[in-house]
Amino acid sequence: MTDAMLDVGLHERRRARRMQDRSYRAAYEQAARELAQTDAVIQELDALRVDLGMSKAELARRVNRNASSVRRLFTASQVRPELPLIVALADALGAELRIVRRQEDTRPRAGKGRRGERIAAAS
């Protein structure tokens, strides 16, 4: 049986080769970070729902949505997660979303004045 198995390593090899290009690597890593965050939010909401023993239909009722829209959200079937729906689901599950600054953020920062304005606007 082993002899008949196909070599499926091309994807890994291609990725490794392409990652040697700095701009490709940067784009890949940025995309991976963004995907991980979105996936973590949705998967955590679904885990909370399961923890509470709440069906998708019940959760949908609590946020005044069709059961199918919530089902599609949790199974990645035709979804573009919308923030208002995510927030509503979190609230219905007794949770909330937060933005947390990464401890080691290596991205370039905006100028001091601009950052100061933002802080002032937020306080």
Residue 106 burial by Cβ neighbours in a 10 Å radius (0-12, 13-18, 19+): exposed
Cα–Cα distance between 117 and 41 in angstroms, integer?
30
To another protein, the closest distance from the beta carbon of 64 in angstroms equals 21
Angle at 16 between CA 14 and CA 22, to 5 degrees: 110
Asked if residue 80 binds another protein (CB under 8 A), the reply is: yes
Question: Which residue, 44 or 117, is less far from another protein as judged by CB?
Answer: 44
DSSP annotation of 55? -
Asked if residue 79 binds another protein (CB under 8 A), the reply is: yes
Q: What is the identity of the amino acid at 24? A: Y
Asked if residue 8 binds another protein (CB under 8 A), the reply is: yes
Asked if residue 75 binds another protein (CB under 8 A), the reply is: yes
SS3 of residue 91 by DSSP: helix
Binding pattern for the stretch 44-73 against another protein, x by CB under 8 A and - elsewhere: --xxx-xxxxx------------------x
Cα–Cα distance between 108 and 95 in angstroms, integer?
32
Binding pattern for the stretch 9-48 against another protein, x by CB under 8 A and - elsewhere: xxx--xx--x--x-xxx-xx--xx-xxxxxxx-xx--xxx
For binding to another protein (CB under 8 A), which residues are involved? 1, 4-11, 14-15, 18, 21, 23-25, 27-28, 31-32, 34-40, 42-43, 46-48, 50-54, 73-81
